[in-house]
Amino acid sequence: MIYLIGGPPKCGKTTLAKRLADKYRISWISADTLENIVWAYTSEEKRPSLFPHSSSRGDSNDQFYSDHSAEEIVRNYIIQGETTYDAISMMAETYLTDKDDYIVEGFQVAPEIVDRIFKKFGQDHVRAVFLVRQDEQKFIQDIHKSTTPNDWVIQKTKDEATYGKISAMIAEYSRYFEMEAEKYGLRVFSMDEDFDQQLDAIENHLKSSRS
């Protein structure tokens, strides 16, 4: 079974992937790794157009979120995610052919590529979920409690006001995922409240599909 976990940054995708991997002894990979491989084989002149988020981000969230609107950042995330679609599809095909369980998680795992994988390989051995967050104030509260090592939100942010801009971007990106998931008939889970309970609910949703 291939498990595909998508959604905006900071919504719990990696936490879910690690939990499933540990509990069911399934290997997992972040789609960021696949993206980095695609980056390495992309010419320098094409990188800004294919990886607009990474190419413009810089080292400071304060500067980046002052220079770019939430809508622009989301648009760049979407473009960059599309650049990784083929790698995600190839990863799924490899493990489906070998009949191995595997988890792929990341913002690059969008409803569109999940639908393509379903159409190409069927749904018997592929499952997908999307995690979102739209409560901006709750996100700001939670980020200050983060225990994630090297958390990019905290490490690259000095101005408290920037947290609001980041949360607005995540909410905007979540609306995109919800709209696209509805378009393709895919399941979305809100992680705004009762995070651990939602992880349980997602696991129960996926568990019934395990062979």
pLDDT tens-digit map of 13-61: 999 999 999 999 999 999 999 999 999 999 999 999 999 999 999 999 9
Could you tell me the CA-to-CA distances from 82 to 5, 21, 49, 136, 198 in Å, in that order? 15, 26, 11, 26, 28
pLDDT tens-digit map of 105-132: 999 999 999 999 999 999 889 999 999 9
User: What integer best gives the mean pLDDT of the chain?
Assistant: 94
> What is the mean pLDDT of the segment spanning 80-99?
93
> What is the mean pLDDT of the segment spanning 197-205?
93
57 neighbors 68 (Cβ within 8 angstroms): no
> What is the mean pLDDT of the segment spanning 133-160?
90
Q: What is the pLDDT of residue 32?
A: 96
In the predicted structure, residue 203 carries a pLDDT above the cut 80: yes
> What is the mean pLDDT of the segment spanning 190-202?
94
> What's the total number of domains in the chain?
1
Q: What is the pLDDT of residue 149?
A: 74
Q: What is the pLDDT of residue 14?
A: 95
In the predicted structure, residue 184 carries a pLDDT above the cut 80: yes
Band of residue 211 on the pLDDT scale cut at 50, 70, 90: very low
> What is the mean pLDDT of the segment spanning 155-174?
96
Q: What is the pLDDT of residue 138?
A: 94
Band of residue 103 on the pLDDT scale cut at 50, 70, 90: very high
Instruction: State phi, psi for 130 to the nearest 5 degrees.
Output: -130, 135
Q: What is the pLDDT of residue 97?
A: 86
In the predicted structure, residue 144 carries a pLDDT above the cut 90: no
Q: What are the tokens at 100? A: 């191995």
Q: Listing from the earlier edge strand, what are the strands of the sheet with 27-30?
A: 27-30, 102-105, 2-6, 126-132, 188-190
DSSP secondary structure code for residue 35 in this structure: H
Range of the domain at 112: 2-207
Nearest to 140 by CA among 126, 127, 157: 157
CATH number, domain containing residue 163: 3.40.50.300
Cα–Cα distance for residue pair 22/16, rounded to 1 Å: 10
